[in-house]
Each structure stands twice: as structure tokens, then as C-alpha cells.
């Protein structure tokens, strides 16, 4: 039997989190169930423990993604800076 505090703790961190629907540009983006428990994933309507290999691959992929996102963002910022400089040299931009 769970104590009241344990019950409240579980209620604030549900085992299955539901990502609600977002509508962007008239299209439904996501309506997904995700695992709220570390080390578990949601498959076939059930929470399943991830294998060590899967966890390792996910961790590695997340690290690669982080590096790629950082590189892309730096390129975006550089281009934005360049275009704003051109805009200001032509007399545009904020006054």
C-alpha cells in the first residue's frame, strides 16, 4: 500500500506523459504518448525497459544532434548579422 506522499509524488510525475495536439499552419503536429520513467520507452501501448545498447545509441545520437544544432545556429546567426549589416548600410533597419 502506498502512502499519501508517494501517491502525490507519482501523480506529479506520471509514468506515461501525453504530448497534446498542437496545430501549426492548419496541420496537427503531435499527439504522442511518451514515457515519464527514466530508462523506459513506450512501445505497443506499454512501457518497456530499454536495452543498454539502445540507451547508449540514444545518448550518442543526442550528443551528435547537440553539436549539429549548435553549428547550424552559429551559421544562422552569422548570416543574420551579415544581412542586417547590409540593410543598415542601405539606410534601412531600426532608427
pLDDT for 94 equals 67
What are the extents of the domains in the chain?
A: 1-49, 51-88
Quote the pLDDT of residue 10: 60
pLDDT 10s digits, 14-71 = 787 887 777 888 887 777 788 888 889 888 888 899 999 999 999 999 999 999 999 9
HSE at residue 2, side-chain half, CA atoms within 13 A, is: 8
Q: What is the DSSP string of 33-63?
A: EEE-STTEEEETTEEEEPPHHHHHHHHHHHH
How large is the greatest C-alpha to C-alpha distance in the chain, in angstroms?
Answer: 73
pTM: 0.55
Q: Residue 36: which of 10, 54, 57, 56 has the closest Cα?
A: 10
Amino acid at each position: 500500500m502506498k502512502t499519501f506522499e508517494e501517491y502525490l509524488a507519482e501523480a506529479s510525475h506520471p509514468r506515461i506523459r501525453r504530448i497534446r495536439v498542437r496545430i501549426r499552419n492548419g496541420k496537427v503536429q503531435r499527439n504522442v504518448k511518451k514515457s515519464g520513467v527514466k530508462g523506459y520507452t513506450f512501445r505497443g501501448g506499454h512501457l518497456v525497459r530499454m536495452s543498454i545498447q539502445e540507451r547508449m545509441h540514444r545518448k550518442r545520437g543526442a550528443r551528435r544532434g547537440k553539436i549539429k544544432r549548435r553549428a547550424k545556429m552559429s551559421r544562422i546567426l552569422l548570416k543574420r548579422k551579415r544581412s542586417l549589416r547590409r540593410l543598415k548600410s542601405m539606410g534601412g533597419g531600426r532608427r
